[in-house]
Structure 1
């Protein structure tokens, strides 16, 4: 299945973004797990920041968004999206040289909330940009809830996403440890 078809069939389009990407982001976790367009992984497998690979123009800058659109399943969709990682001004495909706006936090779906989609979306920036978002460490949950990938992309004129990938995860024994590390 193509990235575009997977994003559409899983309702990432239109729930998270209006247009599906066509390229694939390869995600390999230190645990050995890999994201594969909706496969199920455990929070334990994805607790550490992955290696992120994608085809890139070495003279361009990119934005990488990692988000959970299933954070809140209530009547107010504004609360649904919770971003787990946000890296901007990435030169080519050198994610480690990008500007981290929000440090990486692995998946932590609360007990009893079922399976969540965890989505990686890559944008090619129109150039190097100045971002005014508050910078968050991987121990801070401030400002991560009520995120909108769509609004963020519009704010910075990022256009349509160029690549993506996602997996699904549900509660496991690692989640309480993650919450404790976040002071929750």
Structure 2
């Protein structure tokens, strides 16, 4: 499943390594791998998920080097979301979920809701900004130790002008076991205009 895509040379780390021979050369080079074939990673859907230092995480396995997995779980906040094909005057719904909670072998809490924002303007997505009505605050990926790699999936939908999108009282009580399909059908969101995912594991594993 894992396909080598490219080598990422951390320029800042590399220059620091040259100045300090105590840093292992291995820490200056990251191997970035594809997260595998998935409908959420279609090449025609250019949805970018951008984190500090790492850059665009779309369709990759988050590497352990430079403590990227730890930064993702404990330090970095919400990513910038950029969709170059967005229509400026169109509103969107952004969803981030984990379908592998608590593990990919036993996803009894699928889907775990990590982020839900409505009324996101297309003009903001062109600039990588997520502004809108937050129904679920961003919760960083924190896969439990020993549960392997989790997929973190992002879906972008066009929001109908007349749609007033809310979470039910039942949905607000829990992030896990969220019926994503029911939510999509309830508000007639249809198919996503773009989607992507990345994979990561507990940084201590």
> Which stretch has the larger CA shift, 73-82 or 141-150?
73-82
Q: Is 1:40 the counterpart of 2:68 in the alignment?
A: no
> Are the equivalent residues in 2 in contact too, given 1:43–1:108 (CA < 8 A)?
no
Partner of 2:6: none
2:163 corresponds to 1:129: yes
Distance 2:156 2:43 in 1: 8
Q: Could you tell me how far apart the structure 2 residues matched to 1:128 and 1:24 are?
A: 27
CA distance 1:171–1:76, change in 2 (3 Å): closer
Matching of residue 72 in structure 1 with residue 102 in structure 2: yes
Structure 1 residues not aligned, in runs of 5+: 14-19, 136-140, 176-184
Aligned to 1:162: 193
Question: Which residues of structure 2 form unaligned runs of 5+?
Answer: 4-33
2:89 corresponds in structure 1 to 59
Q: Tell me how large the CA RMSD over aligned residues is.
A: 3.2
Provide the C-alpha distance between the structure 2 equivalents of 1:171 and 1:68, rounded to a whole number of angstroms.
Answer: 14
Equivalent pairs counted in the alignment come to: 159
Once the two structures are TM-superposed, the CA of residue 64 in structure 1 deviates from its matched residue by: 0.4
Displacement of 1:169 in angstroms is 0.5
Q: 1:24 aligns with which of 24, 28, 46?
A: 46
| 2:181 is the counterpart of 1:150 | yes
CA distance in 1, matches of 2:43, 2:109: 24
**CA contact under 8 A between 1:63 and 1:122: conserved in structure 2?**
yes
Asked if the contact 1:89–1:128 (Cα under 8 Å) also holds between the matched residues in 2, the reply is no
SS at match of 2:142: coil
Q: With structure 1 as the length reference, what TM-score do the two structures score?
A: 0.72
Any idea what SS the aligned residue of 1:109 has?
Answer: coil
Larger helix proportion of the pair: 2
The alpha-carbon distance between structure 1 residues 104 and 171, as it changes in their structure 2 partners (threshold 3 A), is same
Superposed CA deviations along residues 45-79 of structure 1, whole A, max 9, x for unmatched, are 32321111002111111000011000134898562
Partner secondary structure for residue 36 of structure 1: coil
| Partner Cα separation in structure 2 for residue 33 and residue 74 of structure 1 | 26
Residue equivalent to 1:49: 78
Residue 38 of structure 1 and its aligned partner are, at CA, apart by 3.5
Relative to its length, the structure with more strand (as a share) is: 2
Q: CA distance change for structure 1 residues 78 and 131 in 2, over 3 Å: closer, same or farther?
A: farther
| Structure label with greater radius of gyration | 2
The answer to whether residue 140 in structure 2 is matched with residue 111 in structure 1 is: no
